[in-house]
């Protein structure tokens, strides 16, 4: 996989949008990219669980969890399932848990923070819609690029240096 260096991408492609610097890297894969698939849910990770159970095909799951800091929307079991099913990463506008295991899981994971409490399971939420947070609207089919410098969104796949 070509290396992702978001400052270099910004320099080469000034049209990309940059998410506000709110996110922390939790996964073993510190740099990742792929086409966006979305989930919008609040303190209920049922649709996150459904999404990572299906083949990711190198996509990035973008979860608008409303910025909640009252529970975790992704933990070790769902992260391992996402990695096993070929997801490139998860961007969580909310919290994660089991951070020591996440740090060893071969998946890109960026989130607002960590919280030990699990979410509810009510089957609520919506998939594959535009979501807006951190100053950017993210749409299914756009491409996301992330590393320790930040998270970028492009309308289409960008050529990367190998």
Express each pLDDT in 68-81 by its tens digit. Answer: 999 999 999 999 99
What b/e readout covers 112-144, taking b as 16+ CB neighbours within 10 angstroms?
A: bbebeeebeeeeebeeeeebebbebebeeebbb
Structurally, how many domains does the chain consist of? 1
Closest CA to 62 of 152, 162, 160, 144: 144
Domain harbouring 83, CATH code: 3.50.30.40
Q: For 102, how many CA atoms within 13 A lie in the half-sphere containing its CB?
A: 25
pLDDT digits (tens, 9 = 90+) for 4-46: 899 999 999 999 999 999 999 999 999 999 999 999 999 999 9
Residue 162, burial from CB neighbour count under 10 angstroms (0-12, 13-18, 19+): exposed
pLDDT at position 3 is 81
In a domain, 54, yes or no: yes
């Amino acid at each position: 996989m070509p290396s992702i260096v978001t400052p270099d991408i910004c320099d080469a492609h000034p049209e990309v949008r940059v998410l506000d610097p709110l996110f922390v890297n939790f996964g073993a894969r510190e740099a990742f990219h792929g086409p966006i698939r979305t989930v919008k849910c609040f303190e209920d990770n049922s649709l996150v669980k459904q999404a990572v159970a299906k083949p990711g095909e190198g996509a990035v799951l973008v979860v608008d969890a409303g910025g909640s800091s009252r529970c975790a929307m992704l933990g070790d079991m769902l992260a391992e399932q996402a990695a096993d099913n070929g997801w490139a990463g998860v961007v969580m506008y909310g919290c994660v848990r089991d951070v020591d295991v996440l740090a060893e899981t071969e998946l890109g994971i960026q989130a607002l923070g960590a919280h030990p409490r699990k979410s509810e399971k009510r089957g609520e939420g919506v998939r594959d819609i535009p979501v807006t947070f951190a100053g950017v609207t993210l749409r299914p089919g756009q491409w996301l690029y992330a590393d320790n410098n930040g998270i970028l969104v492009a309308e289409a796949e960008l050529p990367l240096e190998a």
